[in-house]
Structure 1
Amino acid sequence: MTLADTRPAAAPQTRRSRLARMRDSDLWYSFRRAPVAILAALLLAALVLTAFLAPWITPQNPYDLAALDLWNAELPPIWEQGGQWPFLLGTDLQGRDMLSAILYGSRASIIIGVASVAVSLAVGATLGLIAGYHGGWADSLLMRAGDILLSMPTMLIAILVSAIARNALPADWREAGASAVIVLAISLSAWVQYARTVRAQAMVERKKEYVQAARLIRVSSAKIMLRHILPNCTTPLLVAATLNFGLGILIEATLSFLGVGMPPEQPSLGTLIRIGNQYLFSGSWWIVLFPAAQLCLLVVAINLLGDWLRDALNPKLR
């Protein structure tokens, strides 16, 4: 028998799937033991799923004016006297089904919230990396610009940017570009939080040995920032993005409620609340109550998940 025959057979190298690693992670363990987070996740999933399946599960397209019938205007919910099928939550002044309008409006609000977080996160992380890694005049310039924006109320900045951008656009583009204008208005003030977070982490990481070693072997500054420093900022950025998602939806709803957001032809939740608020005391309470309840449920679910995520990723609380 040779020496090679006496060696134990090598165990097969099995690569665990990402799903298996996620099930064994501390984050999943914390999630399973947080009933509030589970309930919030299920609620948020249901709201998002119904919003994006709205074209297939709603009886009406609220954007299609040909589908509206004034004979069905101001119908109460189906459980009230005078309610009619298939208008489960009643109709508004134009005969628009409230359930259809709410689900379509939720989709618009969710898309704007996600887009505003993505834009502000990309801009803030990029500027924060540059300011924290290079320092000098770039750091001073970017942080002073952030201080100026932080000295102004977020809602005031959003209103000013939305109003100016709308007037600058051609008349034919104003309605089509309304969502892009709102995303720009929200992102202009939201990027500062991400930039400050990444800047603080970059200032700490740039002095560590692995960054110094990367510099010695001529690794470019862009690769150091993207491959080494940015991954260390993932946790605070993820928490901030989750919380700012709900804040972005609220800002969009406020802008639409004030009349400088989404147009009535493309209703969001804020637009529906603004329209329904005009008829609150006339007896048509469902026109404003159901969109407001949908907005509250959406933001509360996001904030509860954000609070859990902040606690779960904080090593001091483990």
Structure 2
Amino acid sequence: MTTDIAKTAPAKPSSALRRWLDSDIWWSFTHSKAAMLAAAIFAILIVTAVFAPWFAPQNPYDAAQLDMWKAELPPVWQEGGEWPYLLGTDTQGRDMLSAILYGTRISMIIGLASVALSLLIGMTAGLVAGFFGGFIENILMRIGDITLSIPTILIAILVSTVVRQLLPSDLREIGASAVLVLAIALSSWVQYARTVRAQTIVERSKEYVQAARLLKVPARRILARHILPNTLTPVLVAATLNFGMAILTEATLSFLGIGMPPGQPSLGTLIRIGNQFLFSGSWWIVLFPVIQLCLLVVVVNVLGDWLRDVLNPKLR
């Protein structure tokens, strides 16, 4: 009797891990050498950036650890190089490998935070515009049109400059990262707003939304629990691609001198500092941060392109 019950009992549902391993996304990932290589490199960059204090020979933000007598040492494989300064030092005696690891962490945090903030602004504006329509939609979309008519970097420069001038002088360096996040987010929210608005217009006319309205379900609940989940796929793909663009925008602002201060350098700040000594023979001060920035942006874009192709039903 027990045996018969065991035979007729329904099978236990598979775990989330098993469902993920059986999904089309995982199959596509394991059959794409470019995506696997980019993911491996990106994982290494994340680990070395997050755990920079464990990998870096020194803390580049601690002035007590800097040695001016070790300034402008070449990489360790060059004549005059010294261990443990694997990639050499800059003009302040700061270890380049340590500065790059810490700078990568700052660039990643600013890029991630700015994408998250622009997602929040853009998705909120898109949901409200697409669901309510009318005057609200016209106002929000015209603001978006004005934003798109101005180059992204100019908007970022304008916002960054204005906010810095409004801050007290003793808070400008401390709040530099927050200013950058706000500047990048305000220059890149329109793409998310337009994507979510288009999806919301399609979803609001479907029967399940009309039924929820007849049942007097609050609009915020309809937007959050019914319409929003159906708009996430294209938005997440766009966010992945814009993550690399946000890092580049931060690097550009820092290179122009309105980003992170020299005391807490990001990759863009390191490139700006090293560019001053490019033709004096200290080529490593600018070359290695440039390589790190290019590598980071390329692997993020490769992963974004792969994710876009996988989630696009027209390409299947």
TM-score (normalizing by structure 2): 0.97
Distance 2:76 2:308 in 1: 41
Q: What's the counterpart of residue 218 of structure 2?
A: 220
Aligned ranges 1:60-139 → 2 under 5 Å = 60-139=58-137
TM-aligned CA deviation for residue 234 of structure 1: 1.2
Change (3 A) 1:6 1:188: closer
Amino acid in structure 2 at the alignment position of 1:43: I
Amino acid in structure 1 at the alignment position of 2:56: T
Distance 1:6 1:110 in 2: 57
Q: What's the counterpart of residue 142 of structure 1?
A: 140
Change (3 A) 1:259 1:7: closer
- Give the % identical residues: 68
TM-aligned CA deviation for residue 289 of structure 1: 0.1
Amino acid in structure 2 at the alignment position of 1:127: A
Amino acid in structure 2 at the alignment position of 1:77: P
Deviation per CA, 1:27-48, whole angstroms, max 9, x where unpaired?
1111111110000000111011
Q: Which residue, 193, 196, 211 being the options, matches 2:194?
A: 196
Amino acid in structure 2 at the alignment position of 1:167: Q
Matched, 1:257 2:255: yes
TM-aligned CA deviation for residue 18 of structure 1: 1.2
Matched, 1:171 2:169: yes
Amino acid in structure 1 at the alignment position of 2:49: A
TM-aligned CA deviation for residue 203 of structure 1: 0.4
Q: Which residue, 9, 16, 34 being the options, matches 2:32?
A: 34
TM-aligned CA deviation for residue 179 of structure 1: 0.3
Aligned ranges 1:234-249 → 2 under 5 Å = 234-249=232-247
TM-aligned CA deviation for residue 252 of structure 1: 0.1
Q: Secondary structure at the match of 1:272?
A: helix
Aligned ranges 1:47-66 → 2 under 5 Å = 47-66=45-64
Deviation per CA, 1:203-248, whole angstroms, max 9, x where unpaired?
0110011111111111111111111111111110111000010000
Q: What's the counterpart of residue 24 of structure 1?
A: 22
Q: What's the counterpart of residue 207 of structure 1?
A: 205
Distance 1:116 1:8 in 2: 54
Of 108-117 and 21-30, more deviation after overlay is shown by 21-30
Please give the root-mean-square deviation of Cα atoms over the aligned residues, in Å: 1.4
Amino acid in structure 2 at the alignment position of 1:39: L
Change (3 A) 1:6 1:34: closer
Deviation per CA, 1:144-183, whole angstroms, max 9, x where unpaired?
0000000000000000111111111111111110000000
Amino acid in structure 1 at the alignment position of 2:237: V
Deviation per CA, 1:29-85, whole angstroms, max 9, x where unpaired?
111111100000001110111011111111100000010000000000000000000
Matched, 1:155 2:153: yes
Aligned ranges 1:233-312 → 2 under 5 Å = 233-312=231-310
TM-aligned CA deviation for residue 6 of structure 1: 8.7
Q: Secondary structure at the match of 1:175?
A: coil
Amino acid in structure 1 at the alignment position of 2:229: P
Distance 1:257 1:99 in 2: 19
TM-score (normalizing by structure 1): 0.97
Distance 2:30 2:152 in 1: 36
Of 158-167 and 99-108, more deviation after overlay is shown by 158-167
Q: Secondary structure at the match of 1:190?
A: coil
Distance 2:113 2:119 in 1: 10
TM-aligned CA deviation for residue 13 of structure 1: 4.9
Change (3 A) 1:13 1:114: same
Q: Secondary structure at the match of 2:188?
A: helix
Give structure 1 stretches of 5+ with no counterpart: none
Amino acid in structure 1 at the alignment position of 2:225: R
Q: What's the counterpart of residue 230 of structure 2?
A: 232
TM-aligned CA deviation for residue 189 of structure 1: 1.5
